[in-house]
Amino acid sequence: MTEQRVSYTLDSTLETVDSAEQAASRIATEAGFDDEEVMRIAMAVREAAVNAVLHGNAYDPGKKVSLAFEQTGGNLVITIRDQGKGLDPDKIPDPLAPENLLKTSGRGIFLIRSFMDEVVISPSQTGTEIKLVKHVHGPAEGAKEASQ
Amino acid sequence: MSMKTSTRQVNGVTIVDCSGRITLGEGSVILKDVVRELLSKGQKKILLNLGDVNYIDSSGIGELVSAFTTVRNQGGELKLLNLTKKVHDLLQITKLYTVFDVKDDEAAAVKSFT
């Protein structure tokens, strides 16, 4: 994986959600992930962008969403930052709890955690930053595992 | 590709053929509107054919749950037909696969409505 960094500053609109997903899909493909992993990464970024646009910035045209992709040390690291009032991850109900199964929202962070190798949510008074990490599993590593 | 739907009647069951993406915004709104319109016409046996739905996000999942509970609360039934692998996997990891009545054969699905 070639080390590089790409960043975007995006408006708080639905178009941003689609743009973030498309950028994630393209960059994950270029980074060498297979189709299924690309879909998972792109969906995680989409969900994080939805959180940033809707729940963080609340569609406020004066607030921006920052999106950065960094390929470094065998990882794809994606950072999404909003300018909202800060998301407290401890207050997100478990969407798998029986009493929450039929709720119509609240699955975004769960899907992000399901699809990425590492997720770090850093809320502050000036917004929330979500860092998503996906490890690149090269063919040599896979071959080694398969031979054991 | 945004979402498209068309409806047809088979033995008293309304089959909604869906294609495209059920995502935040247009896709979710279209699904909500279709189900609302069917209910307003008294059509409460609804089979959502998701065979050509290639993508769904958390908002789309939420809309499926909303449709399911709305129909059920009005005394009807909403079932899912022909899930793609992606949608199947999403419903599995969100533990919704056992909440929905999921079918893979249209004729059998139609017969299963009470």
Name the pLDDT band for A21 (thresholds 50, 70, 90): very high
User: B-side interface with A, Cβ within 8 Å?
Assistant: 23-25, 57-59, 61-63, 65-66, 68-69, 86, 90, 93-96, 99
Contact A82, A73 (CB under 8 A): no
pLDDT digits (tens, 9 = 90+) for A117-141: 999 999 998 999 999 999 987 544 4
Q: Which amino acid is at A41?
A: I
Q: Which amino acid is at B14?
A: T
Rounded CA gap, B113 and B4, in Å?
24
Q: From the CA of A2, how many Å to the nearest CA of chain B?
A: 30
Q: Which helix (H) or strand (E) holds A132?
A: strand A127-135
Rounded CA gap, A69 and A32, in Å?
14
Name the pLDDT band for B27 (thresholds 50, 70, 90): confident
- In 3D space, the residue among B105, B54, B55 whose CA is nearest the CA of residue B82 turns out to be B105
Name the pLDDT band for B28 (thresholds 50, 70, 90): confident
Which chain A residues are Cβ-neighbours of B94 within 8 angstroms? 95-96, 107, 110-111
pLDDT > 80? residue A31: yes
Contact A130, A120 (CB under 8 A): yes
Quote the pTM value: 0.90
pLDDT, mean of residues A73-77: 92
Name the pLDDT band for B1 (thresholds 50, 70, 90): low
